[in-house]
Chains A and B, each alone.
Chain A
Amino acid sequence: MAVITMREAISQALWEEMERDQKVFIMGEEVGVWGGTYAVTKGFLDHFGSERVRDTPIAEAAIVGAAIGSALGGLRPVAELMTINFAFVAMDHIVNEAAKLHYMFGGQMKLPLVIRTPGGGGRQLGATHSQTPDAIFAHFPGLKVVAPGTPADAKGLLKSAIRSDDPIFFIENATVYQQRGEVPEGELLIPIGKSKIQREGADVTIVTYSKMVSYSLKAAAELEKEDISAEVIDLRTLRPLDLEPIIASFKKTNHAVIAEEGWRSYGVGSEIAARIYEQAFDYLDAPIQRVAQKEVPLPYNRRLEQMALPQVADIVNAVKEVLR
């Protein structure tokens, strides 16, 4: 099996889907001539032409709005927002249109739209360019929110997203584009809305997604040295949530840690913890721990930035706390 980077996996997914279906096209800032801010669409313009690889002005509302219109018109747009931080500019289109049109018009039209956008901190881009506001988008019914943590999942989920008739908000993480992993060559479709056990364990359930998947796996490897067996579950999709494997795992381990890169308050960890409390209260042996970003705008200073972001050691410590 080929070992490729997350960037290559996403690129493959886009390429394969554009080859497969003429209706698939991409649009966004610098996706064409420049080949993508993170070089995901390098070579696409030459191969697919400017009709299907469209550079746009720096106008996120226009990008998402145009993508919605083309999707309603029968195309399958993949709109790219340079970072998730810029999605706020397009918020009205995302939450008031993309998330609601199908519902408000009684299902008369489909909205086969994918919005790709990288988030996350740790690259010294300052407080406004380093956010992980994933939970905000997962808040809205009507939107599917996907956030893969491995190259294989990124490829399989993006291909499924492009083929889906629903609006999908596809969150990548800027710091893991270079992360490598085994990816099956050729057709790979991973269903949206299914979480995955990335590592089996018996003592504690670590629920996580996106960048924190690799952190959690590292934490699990460290904990193993101390004879603590951690199970790592990758959500992969934030909405709809696939809780079954989490509840089953928790009923086995009775202890949970939830690791996310975003802020703790009203976060993904809060939601997962609440679901566990609701559905597996009698299996709870200790308060659930959440590992998350410190509640500050992310500092620019590298050392401070790393202090504010959740680290492998934070996950290790949280596991030890729930097992105390």
Chain B
Amino acid sequence: MANIVEMPKLGFDMAEGTLVSWIAEEGQDITKGDVLADIETDKATVQVESSFTGIVHKHLVEENKTIPIGTPIAVIADKGEDVDLEALLKQASKPDKPSSPPPETASAEKQPAPQLQNTGTDDEFIKASPLAKKIAADAGIKLSSISGTGPEGRIVKRDVEKHLSDSPAPTAKTQSVKTETAIRQGEDQQIPISKLRAAIGRRMVTSHTTIPDFTITYSYDVEALITMRQQMNADRADEEQLSVNDFIVKAVALALRDYPNLNASISEEKIIRHGNINIGNAVAVESGLLTIVVNNADQKSLDQIGHEISTMAGRVRAGKVNPDDIEGSTFTISNLGMFNVHDFTAIINPPEAAILAVASAQETPIIENGNVLIGWRMKATIAADHRITDGAEAAQFMRHLSTFLEQPWRLI
């Protein structure tokens, strides 16, 4: 029997998603679990899988359309099945519909003649004059980005022209070659804010304006860690190489076991100490950054942590994310070690209690017993929510972390 696939809710604050592209075309065979479409959420592009087996009977949503979660996006039917789309959609729009396919008896109950009600398709139609459509198409503008001022909100020529003049396309740069010291005039570019950029913006504003944070910087002796990593990597294949970050993730996770206030969230009147230690790792992607999550990192081996991080990082950098990859972190690490930074601070990833900003491991002069020696040091700065924890506790955590980073065999 025919089933409807809906726009899934892929995150706790996801309200809508954009159907970026259809992977399974209409008429194509599909097995439960096969990828149906690419969907862009606030955070990432995610592949949506079919929950049913059959053929893709119909796409209900055009590509690049943004729709609320729960909106029907496709119909999966049996081969050759005669699908009454209206009745099916009507059934789907019932608020108390069963989540699993209804039993035969329910579907056999003949419904009264279905009303003409095209949920999901009516509101996709954008009223625009043929000329407005043509101008918009020629200019590569989405009609959805233009507001219509014609009768009943119809988009007409003047609306498209206004849109074009309000946001001029970057024109070809003209270079002056008249003088030897020709100066190229720069042009301001107006870049639309992506969903991800907007989501980062919202979260960071919330964090920076509502969380009273403080920072503590600690300098770790990582000579042993670096040596041990070199030794461990010596006989490993390329894809199995461990990064410094893998060690840090494990070390932080173990240290957090003794500092539950730093593996916590604040909610209304309560502080929630999380039962699991899920370490988020900030990963730079094309249009912003995402936090990939190693769940229960304190219980996983370095190998496992390394494998998970490289797999997930590969996915998010390719723009394909499983929702699980980016949800549920309880503490976040932002590691800029690869950029040769001396020290930096990070903004807390709400609703978490703290974030650790890890700088580069650097060779540096060390004073020991009155002698100047050469050693390896790595600075890390914790930013913590003062509503949940205090300076002394965070400082103790940072010192406790040193026992793992400076005695890395504890991580094995």
Contacts and interface: CB of A to CB of B under 8 A. Distances in A.
A284 B129 contact: yes
Nearest to B156: A285
Nearest to B129: A285
B130 A324 contact: no
B131 A324 contact: no
A254 interface: yes
B80 interface: no
A282 B130 contact: yes
Interface in B110-155: 129-134, 150-151, 154
A281 B133 CA distance: 11
Interface of B: 129-134, 150-151, 154, 156-157
B151 A324 contact: yes
> What are the 8 A-B residue pairs with the smallest beta carbon separation, nearest first?
A285-B131, A285-B129, A282-B134, A285-B157, A284-B130, A285-B156, A281-B130, A254-B131
A48 interface: no
16 contacts: A254-B129, A254-B131, A254-B157, A281-B130, A282-B130, A282-B131, A282-B134, A283-B134, A284-B129, A285-B129, A285-B131, A285-B156, A285-B157, A286-B129, A286-B151, A286-B156
Interface string A283-324: 111100000000000000000000000000000000000001
Given A254-B157, A282-B131, A283-B134, 15 more contacts: A254-B129, A254-B131, A282-B133, A283-B130, A283-B131, A284-B130, A284-B131, A285-B129, A285-B130, A285-B131, A285-B157, A286-B150, A286-B151, A324-B150, A324-B151
A278 to B, nearest CB: 12
Contacts of A254: 129, 131, 157
Contacts, number: 27
A283 B131 CA distance: 5
A216 to B, nearest CB: 23
B111 to A, nearest CB: 37
Nearest to B157: A285
A254 B154 CA distance: 15
B170 to A, nearest CB: 26
Nearest to A321: B151
Contacts of A286: 129, 150-151, 154, 156
Contacts of A285: 129-132, 156-157
Contacts of B130: 281-285
Nearest to B138: A282
A178 B14 CA distance: 75
Nearest to B134: A282
Contacts of B150: 286, 324
A203 to B, nearest CB: 11
Nearest to B133: A282
A81 B377 CA distance: 111
Contacts of A283: 130-131, 134
A285 B154 CA distance: 10
Contacts of B133: 282
A285 B150 CA distance: 9
A281 B157 CA distance: 13
Interface in A216-247: none
Interface in A272-286: 281-286
A283 to B, nearest CB: 5
B152 to A, nearest CB: 10
A94 B154 CA distance: 47
A324 B131 CA distance: 15
A286 B155 CA distance: 10
A300 B290 CA distance: 80
B342 to A, nearest CB: 61
A282 B154 CA distance: 15
Contacts of A324: 150-151
Contacts of B154: 286
A284 B150 CA distance: 13
A76 B314 CA distance: 90
Contacts of B151: 286, 324
A309 B217 CA distance: 89
Interface string A229-271: 0000000000000000000000000100000000000000000
Contacts of A281: 130
Contacts of B134: 282-283
B119 to A, nearest CB: 28
A289 to B, nearest CB: 12
Contacts of A284: 129-131
> Which of A282, A284, A285 is packed against the most chain B CB atoms within 10 Å?
A285
B139 to A, nearest CB: 14
Contacts of B132: 285
Contacts of B131: 254, 282-285
